[in-house]
Amino acid sequence: MNDILVTGAGGRVGTVLRAHWRASGRAVTLCDIRPLGDAAPNETIVIGDLLDPAFLERVLKGVRVVVHLAGNPWNHDLDAILGPNVEGVGQLYETARMQGVRRILFASSNHVVGMYHSGTRIDTHAPVNPDGYYGVSKVWGEALARMYWEKHGVESLCLRIGSSVPLPVSERHLSTWLSPRDLCGFIDAGIDVRALGFDIAFGISANTRAWWDNSTSRLGYRALDNAEDYAAAILANASPPANPLDALLQGGDYASEGFTDGAAAREGDR
């Protein structure tokens, strides 16, 4: 097996990275619970459930870097999140420690800070402010990553992925867009940087209207693309969201859902 393991390789982010590495020739092992199709010359494919301890131990043998993309992105179902996003991440870090894995690139999310108001500029030192169960599960992953660095020397990059889509199409994307090229750049930098320790970076392109500041990250990757290039077309076709909180809060529709009666009104009055 290759010494770089990518979990959740069949998802949206994994699909972008897979195409990038096929072009660059980087050797990777791809893991998912679902079929991944035929392997390219640079790929090894393993299929299995990361919640199976025997499978997890087997797939981590000889691995130097894990790109951990596997997880459940749905915000409204706590029970569905607890397995892959909480228990699964805990098992991954402990088994990685036991197997001598050097580094984990943890796919965190902008939803760990989704309750900040739009337009509020924050850096990676700002207190977490999650906008739902999904964001809370990513806070857990970031905390676990920090602990495994401090106590066990397992390096981690927690990449708080923004809106990872081919092109920005909404007003929110003008602040949160992560282009495919910059996504691949962040991940390649996390794999290749000589010393990482524990670090957090916001996974966004060099957007003029960005809410998130990466100057406190030590990763050193400088994004190349800018959603502002598409601003005129986006704003010409923009319409107010059905829920005003979608525009008020950085987490968008993840942040606006699930309010107790009256709490949403208080949030809008702040």
> Phi/psi of residue 47, each to 5°?
-115, 130
148 φ/ψ angles, rounded to the nearest 5 degrees:
-70, -25
Torsion of CA 152, 142, 173, 78, to 10 degrees: 140
Annotated active-site residue in 93, 116, 133, 134? 134
221 classed as catalytic: no
Distance separating alpha carbons of residues 96 and 92, to the nearest angstrom: 6
Consecutive H or E run containing 176: helix 173-176
The Cα 68–Cα 9 span in angstroms is 9
SS3 at position 114? coil
| b/e per residue 16-49 (b: at least 16 CB within 10 A) | bbbebbeeeebebbbbbbeebeeebebbebbeee
**Residue 44 near residue 29, CB atoms below 8 Å:** yes
Q: CA 210, 105, 220 angle in degrees (round to 5)?
A: 50
Burial (CB < 10 A; 0-12, 13-18, 19+), residue 243, is middle
Catalytic site positions: 134
